[in-house]
Amino acid sequence: MPKFRFQLDVSAPPAQVIGAMVDFSDRRPEIWPNLTARLYTLHDLNDRKADVTEGTAVPGLEVWERCTYEWTDTTVRSVITDGRIFEPGGTFEFHVEPQGTGTRITVDYDRRSTTILGRCIGAMMHLSRGAPIKRSFKQVYK
C-alpha cells in the first residue's frame, strides 16, 4: 500500500512546529482541526513518548487509530498500534529543518490498509501527494 514522501514549507519556526505536533493536552483537537475531540484519548505520556487514540468523524463515518508517538527536537514518528482501517506498524514520520525564517517539513508516509476504505484513503493520499495533510499543516501553521 502507499509509501511516499512529500515536503511542505510553513512560516512557523521548527520549535513551534514540533511543539504543536507533540502537544498531547486536551487542546490537541483544537490545534489539529482534522481531529474529532470525542475520539481523542491520551493513554500515556512520557518525556519523549505518547500513547494516544485519535481520529476523525464525519456523519456516518469514524476513522480512528491508536498510535505511539516518539520525538526529538527535529523528528516526530507515529506508529499505529491499533485502528479501524490501517494495519498496526504503519507509520508517519515528520522531519523538520529551518527554511529561511520558517520550517521545511518532510513527511514519510508508510501505511497499509485493512479495509477498502483504507485503500481508498491511501490511494487519495498518494495521488494528491498528501494534500489533506498539507492542508491541515497550513491551517495549524498559518
Q: Return the domain boundaries, the chain.
A: 3-140
pLDDT recorded at residue 130: 72
Look at residue 25 in the predicted model and tell me its pLDDT. 97
What pLDDT is recorded for position 137? 77
Q: Which CATH superfamily is domain 3-140 in?
A: START domain (3.30.530.20)
Give me the average pLDDT of each 10-residue run along the chain (142 residues). 83 95 96 94 97 92 95 98 93 96 94 82 75 78 72
Taking alpha carbons only, the member of 19, 76, 67, 16 closest to residue 42 is 67
Residue 7's beta-bridge partner residues? 106
- Dump strand ranges (E) for the chain: 3-10, 41-45, 49-58, 61-71, 75-83, 91-99, 102-110
- Can you tell me the distance from the alpha carbon of 45 to that of 22, in angstroms, rounded to the nearest whole number? 10
